[in-house]
Structure 1
Amino acid sequence: MICQNAITKKGLGESQIHLEQMILAIFIMNPIMLNQYIVNDNWFELGIHKIIYSALKQSVVDKHLDMYKVQELLEKANFDYFNKIMDSYVSSALLDKHLSELEENYKIRQTAIIMEQLSLHQIEYPTFLENIRQIEEQTQYIDTLVEPSPNDIFDEITLSNQSLIFNRLSNLNLLKLEKNTLNVIAARPSVGKSGLALNIFNDLASTNEYDCVYINMEMPDRDIYRRLVSMNTKIPMWHLEGLEKCSKAGALVMDCLLSFKDKDMKVISHPMDINSIGTVIRNEQKKGKHVIVFIDYLGYIKSAKESNDRERLGKICRDLQIMTKEYDCTIFLLAQINREGADNPTMNNLKDTGELEQSAHSVLLLSEIGDYDVNNDVQFIKLVTGKNRESLKNGKMIMKYHKKIQRFEVSTEEEAKNAQRR
């Protein structure tokens, strides 16, 4: 039933506007839902939202939005506002909840109007009761007939080339890391999780198949570029400081930096929340390639205050996992493991949240093997797949980490055997 206090409200203010914006944002990102849900235009209180919803309904073509049609139906001012809504991220998992609230608010407004008509003797009491009954009967409807056809299902399950393809780090192809998944790289501090993530970022960008974005929230911008330059030129990071452009090494560095411009790779170095990450992905999608995002790291993602860190980080993990499907992207998320997992990390050692294990498609756990060989600049790293839905769980591989040049390389079989004996 509609509560008396709510009925007396004359307007629902900013909260109603925000609610309507979230619903429209979900429909924009998931146009197929426009055919699955029947929504009364009048449920939207703001006129521009009614116009946008109507334009969306008229612009769905084969499960996608015809953006030219949307622009044609909306005036420029309305289309600018539409773009603002489109840049916000809202999980589609919340659509039912939001639509129920939208419908209830509509009932509140309509009931208030009818009660005012009764108080002004504009309608009789039987008419009042009939109008109230009609309002209560207006319910959200989900069209259960909109289901994928056998042809759609066949195309989906037989789709090939869904695994990421690595170049220099070819041994990672064995992991069969799939597109549209959330993948976690976890380790103790200073073991090399950022180093491995940057090597993967650099390797995938070099294939020219993907649009790669590295969101750095942990270290200065220059440190990221120093690492990228060192791993590509094999010039130790400490040699870069004070280097002159006219020197041979300086020219090599400039060539390397220019080569970055030929690749679809971008480094963003400032704190972000889920909404900002979604905006970055949407902007990158305009280039037409599959977007791969690296987030360094989980603990620094800003979010609304939850009751504790576990709940806050858990919600972030769920939102990122949903985002990989809604935004057609792949995410690599860096996380920490606790002290107990320093030598032989397991899934139980993931720090701060158990939601990582639930949401992630794969979890790569890193640990050091033996001591760092200063003379040869080699630290052997054990990579354990704590979780992987496409290949064997608890699979292991040994990699070489050259710390001075921040470069990960594939270990030979002999090197791996010798490292494991340590």
Structure 2
Amino acid sequence: MNLSNISNIEAELSVIGAILVKNDAICEVINFLKPEDFYDLKNGIIYKNLKELYESNIPIDIITLAERLKDTLKEIGGITYLSKIINSTVTSKGIKEHGEIVKEKASCREFLKILNSSLDKLSKGEFSSEHLISYTQNSLINAKSLESRDTGRVEKIMESFMDTLQTRYENGGDIQGIKSGYKLIDRMLGGLSKEDLIILAARPSMGKTAMAINLLLNTVLKQNAKTAFFNLEMGIKQIVDRVVSIHTAIPMNSIKNASLTEEQWYDVTKSASILAQSSIKMYDKILTLASIKAECRRLKIKEGLDIVVIDYLQLIDSEERQENRNQDISKITRSLKLMAKELDITVIILSQLSRAPECRSDHRPLLSDLRESGSIEQDADIVLFLYRDECATRS
């Protein structure tokens, strides 16, 4: 293996030298660079001690550093090694850029470690292929999120807030999230926001799937959002029939039986061409929580991903069975909420309701009607109920 791909000793020495030349230079790297990011253990030990001196308000020079190192001074090469670093450093300029190089190489080593671990588990037969993919993707994304995690400084947080506020002002108060195409919902929610878990719940035949497909078509075709639609209830042919029916406003039976007028044939052909070129992905065979998450991560990394719709919650197999179905559902919703945050996407889950609304005079749904609710209302950022008088009366 070419070590230059996973380490840069010159950059490490430049960072240390810059701090020894100008103490305050450490401010440029202290928030993101850690001792363990250094490939050369000697350099990692030196940086750790430089950091401790700075945080203790002790002036940094070769004498205070040597005193701080004490027993480990000989281990890192003694005063000779420290002098060599100082003598080879001309300026403290560029420390941030060199620190970023050190950080990047550390990330490469971490990714290599994860891949080697996956290969080891594969050779030992510890995981099925599906579990191995999920394990590897989880590990890689977690490592990347830790690398890029904000330091929590209020200055940066407020700077980001003001940038967002300025953008909102320049947009004239327009909706900031992705527009669902349903004006009332968009006004109430401000559009579909990243990191949100949205539950769309109703009794059967209220139109959950139709609304979800409409929403996907609005976001994909009008705003070019990258979306994924997991339908655990229907086969892919049924899904396509419904999508084309909704897109063209042609009755479902006409499409199923191909009893179309010449104009309808034209509309269906045009719809098929538009959908084929769109950024919507449709799945009918991915039924487990692990496989849904694995595919979403793959899409996010490879093609980008904005919105995920899952139809529907109670059909998701959690694989690792809990004591009861309520606990299964709780685990699923919590995991999908974490995925929304991790991948910076909107996750919309369709959900069945219990029969409780049918026992009430007005038939209107309540949060307590969420079937096998577990902690749905706790994990969800938004819960939307579909209700139509004519359907409720008919049922």
Question: Could you tell me the percent identity over the aligned residues?
Answer: 24
Q: 1:261 to 1:371 in 2, by over 3 A?
A: closer
Q: CA deviation at 1:250?
A: 2.3
Give structure 1 regions of 4+ aligned residues with deviation exceeding 4 angstroms.
33-39, 65-69, 71-75, 77-85, 88-92, 160-163, 244-247, 287-290
- What is the 5 A alignment of 1:11-410? 70=108, 74=112, 78=116, 81=119, 84=133, 85-88=135-138, 147-158=151-162, 159=164, 163-166=176-179, 168-176=181-189, 177-243=192-258, 247-286=262-301, 289-303=304-318, 304-342=320-358, 343-370=363-390
Contact 1:184-1:363 within 8 A present in 2 as well: yes
TM-score normalized by the length of structure 1: 0.55
Q: CA deviation at 1:248?
A: 3.8
1:62-102: CA deviations, max 9, x gaps?
A: 7xx85997289849x8498499443347997xxxxxxxxxx
SS of the residue 1:354 aligns to? coil
1:263-321: CA deviations, max 9, x gaps?
A: 21011012422221222112222356442100111111111111110111111111111
CA RMSD after TM alignment: 4.2
How far, CA to CA, are the matches of 1:254 and 1:179 in structure 2? 34
Q: 1:37 to 1:358 in 2, by over 3 A?
A: farther
Contact 1:338-1:349 within 8 A present in 2 as well: yes
SS of the residue 1:266 aligns to? strand
How far, CA to CA, are the matches of 2:227 and 2:201 in structure 1? 20
| Structure 1, 332-341 or 152-161: larger mean CA deviation | 152-161
How far, CA to CA, are the matches of 2:343 and 2:105 in structure 1? 16
SS of the residue 2:157 aligns to? helix
Contact 1:168-1:203 within 8 A present in 2 as well: yes
Q: 1:74 to 1:89 in 2, by over 3 A?
A: closer
How far, CA to CA, are the matches of 1:70 and 1:251 in structure 2? 52
Q: 1:331 to 1:90 in 2, by over 3 A?
A: farther
Q: Which structure features the higher share of strand residues?
A: 1
How far, CA to CA, are the matches of 1:34 and 1:272 in structure 2? 39
Contact 1:208-1:264 within 8 A present in 2 as well: no
| Structure 1, 80-89 or 354-363: larger mean CA deviation | 80-89
- Structure 2 unmatched runs, 5+: 1-30, 40-97, 121-131, 169-174
Q: 1:67 to 1:37 in 2, by over 3 A?
A: closer
How far, CA to CA, are the matches of 1:285 and 1:358 in structure 2? 26
1:357-390: CA deviations, max 9, x gaps?
A: 00000000111123699xxxxx9xxxxxxxxxxx
Q: 1:253 to 1:87 in 2, by over 3 A?
A: same
TM-score normalized by the length of structure 2: 0.58
Between Structure 1 and Structure 2, whose CA radius of gyration is higher? 2
Q: 1:363 to 1:242 in 2, by over 3 A?
A: same
Q: Which structure features the higher share of helix residues?
A: 2
How far, CA to CA, are the matches of 2:379 and 2:108 in structure 1? 34
Contact 2:180-2:215 within 8 A present in 1 as well: no
